[in-house]
Amino acid sequence: MATPGLVLSQYSAVLGMVATLEILRFLLKLLVPSLLLAIAIRVGGPQLSIPATATVSLILVLTPSVVMGGFLGYRLWHSNGANHAHPGRD
């Protein structure tokens, strides 16, 4: 008969392995697309004829923040839990 301490330690060991696999899966989901994007930029970047101006630099730097802000604002606007932000929608 297994003792409760032994069963608990085996259970926590299994949970530790599952958590480790989840972390590895997350890292792979993050690193593989990042690596592919970096290779695409490295290979295809010189093929693009983008002028080196301040306007182009500002567009390239600000676009990700503007897109993410728009996405998060849209989610806030349409979420059910954000009624305090939109009193007229109660």
Nearest to residue 89, comparing CAs of 72, 74, 80, 70? 80
pLDDT in tens, 2-49: 555 555 566 666 666 777 888 888 999 999 999 999 999 899 988 888
Phi first, then psi, for residue 84 (nearest 5°) are -65, -25
- Dist. CA 39–CA 41, nearest whole Å: 5
What's the sign of the alpha-carbon dihedral 45, 49, 53, 58?
negative
DSSP 16: H
pTM of the prediction? 0.47
pLDDT in tens, 47-79: 888 898 999 999 999 999 999 999 999 998 888
CA–CA distances in Å: residue 10 to residues 4, 13, 19, 38: 10, 5, 14, 42
Q: What's the pLDDT band for 84 if we cut at 50, 70, 90?
A: low
